[in-house]
Structure formats: C-alpha cells, structure tokens
Amino acid sequence: MISDKKGVKNMALRNIRINDDPILRKVCKPVQEITKKTEELVGDMLDTMYEANGVGLAAPQVGILKRIVVIDIGDGPIIMINPEILETSGSQTGQEGCLSIPGKAGIVTRPNYVKAKAYDLQMNEYTIEGEELLARAICHELGHLDGDLYIDHVEGSLMEVVNDEDEE
C-alpha cells in the first residue's frame, strides 16, 4: 500500500475482464520470482477487489496470466501465489457470483472444506485451510487460474442480481 505525502492511499485500479474476454479461459503460468511488478500487481488486485466489493480476484480477471489470487472474506487479505488445492471434503451448495460476470449469480456446489498450499509475497510456502465461504472462495478463484469459471458449474440457470449500489 502506497501513501502519498498527505497520508491518502493511492489506489491503482485495474480493469476487470468480463465474461466473453478470451483471457478468462486461458491457463495461467506459475510465478517464478517476486518482482516489483508482481508486488504492484498484488496491491492493485487488492485495491480492485475492494473497490468492486468482491471477496476474491484472480490475476487473469485483470488481464494477467499469472497464478496469483487475492481473497478477503472479511478476516483480512489472503495472497496466494502458485496455489494448489491439496485436499477437499464435504459439500456445500449455494449462490455464487463473480466480478467477471456482473449482474448474475448461480447455484454452485463446492467442497465445504479445502486445504491448499501457496506462496506469499516473500515466496515462503504456506498451507491454508478453509470452510464454507473461504473454501468456496479458494475453489472459485483457483478455478480462474485454469480458465474455469463458476458459470461452468451452475446448477440450473443464471439469475439476475440487483446490486443496491447500482441504484445510487
């Protein structure tokens, strides 16, 4: 996070790619090393996700084919570089949306528990376990890294979603 001289954070928002953008269907490449550009990308992804009121964002959603995901379900940001799901169990079925599919939602069944490994911005490996919303978010975002969108898994049809902010 960068602050200017007045203490106000400079936000670098990226354009979120929308459903028909072919980049959303491509497989992302692993991150080999953390560079200044990688750090800037992660910061921009967090800013973009928060600005769009999302709980997760994957690099291809902002046009970058790298295996990077950011998630925040309300407990603070999680940065996942080169993430992999190690284990899943149980199931949950619920409504899911995506910043790349604005105004729509669908019913998707995901694991209720997920264990994943990833790297942080210092390229230290860590594991993370999540249930319910965090498990859903991890599965959803990691899907983006392989060109997989939640709409590929919707049970029934997509529903229109009205965002309260759209009415302001």
Domain that holds residue 59: 22-160
**Token pair in block for residue 152:** 């590929």
What is the domain count for the chain?
1
What are the pLDDT digits (tens) for 2-22?
A: 333 333 455 689 999 998 999
**Which CATH number goes with the domain that contains 54?**
3.90.45.10
What are the pLDDT digits (tens) for 70-117?
A: 999 999 999 999 999 999 999 999 999 999 999 999 999 999 999 999
**Domain contains 14:** no
The pLDDT assigned to 10 comes to 59
Residue 167 DSSP SS3: helix
Question: Per the annotation, does 98 bind a ligand?
Answer: yes
DSSP conformational letter for 112: S
Mean pLDDT rounded to a whole number for the chain: 91
What is the separation, in whole angstroms, between the first and last Cα of the chain?
29
Q: Which residues of 34-73 are buried (b: 16+ CB within 10 A; e: fewer)?
A: eeeebeebbbbbbbbbbeeebbbbbbbbbebebbbbbbbb
Best CA proximity match to 84, nearest among 108, 109, 111, 114:
114
Question: Per the annotation, does 153 bind a ligand?
Answer: no
**Domain contains 107:** yes
Query: What pTM does this model have?
Result: 0.90
**Domain contains 4:** no
**Token pair in block for residue 37:** 């550009």
Catalytic residues: 141
Please determine, for residue 162, whether its predicted confidence score (pLDDT) is greater than 90.
no
